[in-house]
């Protein structure tokens, strides 16, 4: 078994146990958000804000402590294959001025944000996705696309759900890249562009409004 695939498994397991630990700790704040369509899953073309819709029976839960964040998302209507999730962290939500027209967000493109890998996962033929991820302030558990990472556990956090095509089960190295890298197996897609995350489509988005 390749090192890259072992890394994927260890990250997912660590995220699961971290989620449960945080959920049971004191001084936590919990909330639930909807999952929204974000881009055309066939070619990655952005969907205009007014045309984005909530995914039926999909939701994302967030648990915040004084210095950490855990997010678990259950969604549906995804193309089968390999996925990454990417945190877009607006660490100073009170000063955001570009809130989107959906998800009750304060922040959006143009506001300062950190972008970081959150987790990876496989979606089967039923199109249902389960994703769990936790992070502490100052921690960099995966690929960092835009620093500094999480500096404020009360940040507004957008979770981009990125599709990397059919799961490369016959190629452990490629599968590992699909689950941990922003560009893993993205050579099969036409170029897209959102916050520097190029090539692979972003079918869905979650918005957890900052406190």
User: Does the global pTM surpass 0.75?
Assistant: yes
At 167, is the secondary structure helix, strand, or coil? coil
- pLDDT at residue 3 tops 60: no
- pLDDT at residue 19 tops 60: no
- pLDDT at residue 199 tops 60: yes
Sort 157 into a burial class: Cβ within 10 Å, 0-12 / 13-18 / 19+: buried
Q: Which residues lie across from 157 on neighbouring strands?
A: 89, 208
pLDDT band at 198 (very low <50, low <70, confident <90, very high): low
Alpha-carbon gap, residue 190 to 41, rounded angstroms = 11
Q: Each residue of 56-87: pLDDT tens digit?
A: 999 999 999 999 999 999 999 999 999 999 99
At 5, is the secondary structure helix, strand, or coil? helix
pLDDT band at 43 (very low <50, low <70, confident <90, very high): low
Alpha-carbon gap, residue 1 to 66, rounded angstroms = 38
CA separation, residue 101 to residues 22, 47, 96, 115 (Å): 31, 12, 14, 21
pLDDT for the residue 191: 66
Do residues 35 and 58 touch, judged by C-beta distance below 8 A? yes
Phi/psi of residue 6, nearest 5 degrees: -65, -35
- pLDDT at residue 20 tops 70: no
User: SS in 3 state form for 11-75?
Assistant: HHHHHHHHHHHHHHCCCCEEEEEEEEECECCCCCCECCHHHCCEEEEEEEEEEECCCEEEEEEEE
Most confidently predicted of 44-48, 162-166, 192-196, 199-203? 162-166
Q: Is 75 left (phi over 0), alpha (psi -120 to 50) or beta?
A: beta
Alpha-helical regions (H) of 127-166 = none
Q: Each residue of 137-192: pLDDT tens digit?
A: 999 999 999 999 999 999 999 999 999 999 999 999 999 999 999 999 998 886 66
Least confident span in 2-6, 92-96, 169-173 = 2-6
- pLDDT at residue 9 tops 80: no
Inter-helix orientation angle 172-180/3-24, to 10°: 40
Check residues 101 and 185 and name the one with the higher pLDDT: 185
- pLDDT at residue 14 tops 80: no
């Amino acid at each position: 078994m390749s090192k890259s695939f072992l890394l994927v498994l260890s990250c997912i397991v660590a995220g699961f146990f971290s989620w449960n630990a945080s959920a049971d700790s004191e001084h936590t704040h919990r909330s639930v958000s909807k999952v929204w369509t974000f881009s055309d899953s066939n070619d990655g073309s952005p969907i205009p804000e007014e045309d984005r819709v909530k995914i039926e029976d999909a939701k994302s839960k967030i648990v915040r402590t004084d210095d950490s964040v855990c997010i678990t998302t259950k969604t549906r209507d995804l193309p089968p294959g390999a996925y990454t999730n990417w945190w877009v962290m607006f660490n100073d939500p009170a000063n955001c001025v570009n809130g989107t027209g959906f998800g009750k967000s304060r922040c959006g493109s143009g506001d300062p944000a950190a972008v970081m890998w959150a987790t990876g996962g496989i979606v089967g033929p039923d199109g249902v996705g389960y994703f769990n991820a936790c992070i502490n302030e100052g921690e960099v558990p995966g690929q960092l696309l835009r620093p500094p990472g999480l500096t404020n556990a009360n940040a507004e956090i957008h979770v981009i759900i990125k599709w990397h095509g059919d799961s490369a089960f016959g190629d452990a190295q490629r599968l590992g890249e699909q689950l941990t890298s922003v560009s893993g197996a993205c050579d099969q897609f036409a170029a897209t562009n959102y916050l520097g995350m190029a090539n692979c489509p972003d079918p869905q988005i979650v918005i957890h409004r900052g406190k």
